[in-house]
Structure 1
């Protein structure tokens, strides 16, 4: 990933935290858990915002349009649709969330990290490699909306964590995932540096 393409975006401290999930609207991406956690959090903190970027596709595990419509009508989530450039959505967020059941290395998490965002993701293969629990975000169990809500509440009730963990995310993205460093390490490993 070219970290330079994703500049650190300043965090807004003037309003309640804003959470963001980007992905295909599939059950396996943890979209339903995200919404369930949002419902729990909004009972205590109704001003907190939950953005969702993505699209419905033909997968049998897809979120249905009526489900999505209910969530939007209830005010649980702000549906932003499919975006060709996710950087503005990440810039408007405080914390990036990916409650996926399984991933490769999730690109959206790396993009959010590069832009200086704290992350909540699952302790699942692929996801767990991006977050050091308690350092640049929190890891939660797969399919556990309650644990996800608790992690969100920690950021709401300790907003300094948003800034501290966001800074660590950027550092980790630069150290571990920047394409230029990865390529240099590969070339050195092959004796071609």
Structure 2
């Protein structure tokens, strides 16, 4: 088949699937935003980056997504008209609008979309954290408006793919029927326990596996991933464990939600709140780091903390589990799909700071169940989310199935 991947930040969720299909003899190409500099695993073509939209109000998100979709369609039209290219199958992420108009360029192609999450007005992130996300009428209306391109993208598609049941179930039943749940997959040969792991901090100190280290990872340090809850728990944790070191990986920007109103970043906001009660010589902010450096805290840590609103599940949780860590996580719906309290990790209420403090202190002190829980966490990933044995074969079969229809 001729298979075209479409993703503004390619390879995005497809770093393994695209080359795996190419290795099986398919003609695989990808289309991406001209500003994307990530190394591609297959041949890429680029479309023009959309300008900043001048549309305000409820139509802003759809205007942005439709503009990107039109620019992607123009790039597709150039492929068709100048080079005679016509894919049998298009695999695209529906989250940025890129797939919206591709059917008009290639009406005969099968269209598969990666359906990451459907925004909902209740039972998800909206109104979950009243401190930063109050469930107002305005907020709910805005959420509905931001969903238009996601609905349109899946309605147009022949089928969709979601990485977890929770994320698939965020879509309404009439659209949920189009979705297949297959996780992106974790390479458990690379992400694994490493008793020889070390992490050298910016100041020169080297942490080693077995040291009293607490890790926290998020693409951005922000409330959606419980950064404020974690920071508020640290004073008690560090006071109880005077030898503990805390390593945080994540950028200072915002990936989800909004910037703080009273500070430049959420990191600055939380340090202003609790910084005077912390021994900051033991709290290490690494920022965003290369992948090998990112893995080091997961392998070195004695305990790993993962907190999230009811929202998209982070790869960092599955990778910390694959590393065999003692996981202390929020008792929220997306987490419960992987973690069972007392079986392969510890769950605490997202807003229960005392329970979080107690679980982290116990983990750092040497939870007698840590080895059992860590081994069970890794087994969960190896048996159900392993890239090479479980997920990639299923993903390849799912794609190829549409070439046989």
> What is the TM-score with the length of structure 1 in the denominator?
0.84
Tell whether the 8 Å contact from 2:313 to 2:335 is kept in structure 1 after alignment.
Answer: yes
Deviation, 1:159, is 3.2
1:156 is aligned, of 364, 374, 383, to 364
Alignment match, 1:60: 259
Tell whether the 8 Å contact from 1:30 to 1:143 is kept in structure 2 after alignment.
Answer: no
**Is 1:35 the equivalent of 2:243?**
no
**Is 1:20 the equivalent of 2:215?**
yes
Deviation, 1:66, is 5.5
Aligned alpha-carbon RMSD (Å): 2.6
Alignment match, 1:84: 290
Deviation, 1:4, is 2.1
Deviation, 1:54, is 0.6
Q: Which moved more, 1:135-144 or 1:57-66?
A: 57-66
Alignment match, 2:390: 181
**Is 1:10 the equivalent of 2:219?**
no
Matched residues in 2 for 1:121 and 1:64: separation? 20
Deviation, 1:158, is 4.2
- Following superposition of structure 1 onto structure 2, how do residues 86-105 of structure 1 map, counting pairs within 5 Å? 86-105=294-313
Deviation, 1:124, is 1.0
Matched residues in 2 for 1:84 and 1:71: separation? 27
Matched residues in 1 for 2:228 and 2:300: separation? 22
1:60–1:159 CA distance, 2 compared to 1 (3 A): same
Structure 1 gap segments, 5+ residues each = none
Deviation, 1:64, is 4.2
Q: How many residues align?
A: 188
Tell whether the 8 Å contact from 2:241 to 2:365 is kept in structure 1 after alignment.
Answer: no
Tell me: higher relative CO, structure 1 or 2? Use CA pairs within 8 A at least 6 residues apart: 1
* Greater gyration radius: 2
Structure 2 gap segments, 5+ residues each = 1-184, 197-208
Tell whether the 8 Å contact from 1:9 to 1:116 is kept in structure 2 after alignment.
Answer: no
Helix, strand or coil at the partner of 2:230: helix
Matched residues in 2 for 1:19 and 1:71: separation? 17
